[in-house]
Amino acid sequence: MRRELGAGYELDDDRARIDVDAVHAYIAGESYWGRGRPREKVVSTVSGSARVVGLYHERVQVGFARAVSDGVTIAYLADVYVLPSHRGRGLGLALVRETIEGGGAGGLAGLHWMLHTADAQGLYAKLGFSEGVQSYPLMEKRRDARPLPQAERVRAQ
């Protein structure tokens, strides 16, 4: 898929076109969620994601989004950004819409989507994401988390 958005902008889901250096520069240096992420991890996330979409302005990458999914029931939206100098034009909405709704018949559109965000709830609400009461509690295991010792596990139950 390659789609013109006008004013020199386009979306493209060609994985080979993703400028990994640009994605790494933003995520590791500018984002609140991935600050310090090593380049090799960015390479792995791009290659290992179910879908990646780049946002380009005059052939230079200015935005990115990716989806992690089993392709059947669930998908997770991650690493979404549009460079600050290109915001305010509806590009983030177009980027996220393409990531979650595009991809043709084999796409991820009909799945249960999730994401974490600290600052873009309004954008995601336009596409049907909602805050509030969850169907069930969300639990997370962070990469640095260690299991509780047996005695503490028993008390926690």
Angle at 108 between CA 104 and CA 112, to 5 degrees: 150
Taking 60 as the threshold, does the pLDDT of residue 130 lie above it? yes
pLDDT band, residue 134 (cuts 50/70/90): confident
C-alpha dist (Å) from residue 139 to 129, 134, 142, 154: 19, 12, 10, 18
Going by C-alpha positions, the residue among 9, 151, 18, 154 that lies closest to residue 90 is 9
Taking 80 as the threshold, does the pLDDT of residue 156 lie above it? no
| Residues 136/99, Cβ–Cβ less than 8 Å | no
Query: 127 forms bridges with which residues in the sheet?
Result: none
| pLDDT per residue as tens digits for the range 53-86 | 999 999 999 999 999 999 999 999 999 999 999 9
